[in-house]
Amino acid sequence: MQNSIAVLLNANARLVTDKVKRSLERAIPRAHLFLSHTKEEALAYVKQIIDKDYKTIFSGGGDGSFVHLLNMVRDTLKARGETGHKEPTLPRFGILKLGTGNGISSFVGSSGGTRILERGFDENSMKTLDMALVETGNRVFHFAGSGFDARLLRDYSDLMKNLKTPEMRKSFSGLAGYFAAGLGKTVPESLFIRDRGEVRVEVEDLENSYFIQHRNGKDVIIPIENPLLYTGPSTAVGVATEPFYGYNIRAFPFATDKVGFMNLRLLLSKPVSLVANMRKYWDGSYRGAGVKDFLVKKVKVTYEKAVPFQIGGDFYDHMQEVVYSVFPQALKLLDFRHT
């Protein structure tokens, strides 16, 4: 049996309301709607989706929900053992703009929540985007990082856990919570913590490594000759294969400049400078000594001590060393930019 599309929604996402659920159930008889409240429930649904051989899987939630779904699908396919030691072929994904952070929805042009599905479309006639993925350990994702942004996400996570009522958590979910965590803890702490994270960044595939040089108003891609890219203090170190964080923040403006590469961005500006130049960082237009950009296939990031680390916009752990590699298989995403 081969089905058309499955829709897996994170029931905890702020925009997954009863109205959204009813609209999908009425409008999309072809879509099998799976509503998960826990990670265990989501995994059980993923196994059903794989067993029923759906051609396209829609993720409903933010970037974190998408990354979690992607890895559950990959792990489930690998557990089948049908491809031996080779990576299994991943299904096609669609993105619904629901949840807190929605960087990937900006990339594929998905807007309006579930209206994309409600108005009907033929996914077989739609164009797709190939998005490279990054791998570290046994996780694949489209962006990750360490340092200031991960500290902010950790502080946001702590804030949400400490709110006592569902009403309070709903009020601080999303941008309001990030500003509260950032201005209430992350930024003030950064004013008193002189150690911004001594880091060593070195590529492990020199032949496939490039530096983005800003020359006469243009961005020029230049091959790298020395595997050691940087050593010293940093505010954040991140990688991505698509340009956006949530809220249309163009955090990695060079992520799609070279097919099959990731944009490695070293943020050297102090947090106070980030706030002062917020608009330029937000739209990706900042050019200056505060950032260094690279296009790489494999890179190792080593800190003097463990620092906060995030994957897909969710705080993950404290880590001292991480190796990022471009995953050998690109992911096909439904392209809604011109629909």
Span of 92-96, 160-164, 187-191 with lowest mean pLDDT: 187-191
Q: Mean pLDDT over residues 158-181, rounded?
A: 85
> Which pLDDT band, with edges at 50, 70 and 90, does 29 fall under?
low
Q: What pLDDT does residue 30 have?
A: 56
CB proximity list for 273: less than 8 A, separation 6 or greater: 290
In single-letter form, the type of residue at position 147 comes to: G
Q: What is the mean pLDDT of the chain?
A: 88
Tokens found for residue 267? 């943020």
Q: Mean pLDDT over residues 187-207, rounded?
A: 84
Q: What pLDDT does residue 325 have?
A: 98
Q: Give all domains of the chain, ordered by start, each with its CATH number.
A: 5-126 (3.40.50.10330), 143-327 (2.60.200.40)
This prediction has a pTM of 0.90
Between 103 and 211, the more confident residue is: 211
Span of 1-15, 137-151, 310-324 with lowest mean pLDDT: 1-15
Closest CA to 137 of 329, 317, 260: 317
Span of 15-24, 195-204, 323-332 with lowest mean pLDDT: 15-24
Give the relative orientation of helices 39-51 and 63-80 as an angle to the nearest 10 degrees.
50
Q: What pLDDT does residue 169 have?
A: 80
Q: What pLDDT does residue 1 have?
A: 39
CB atoms within 10 A of CB 291: 18
Separation CA 322–CA 192 (nearest Å): 27
In this predicted structure, the answer to whether residue 123 has a pLDDT above a threshold of 80 is no
Closest CA to 290 of 302, 301, 276: 276
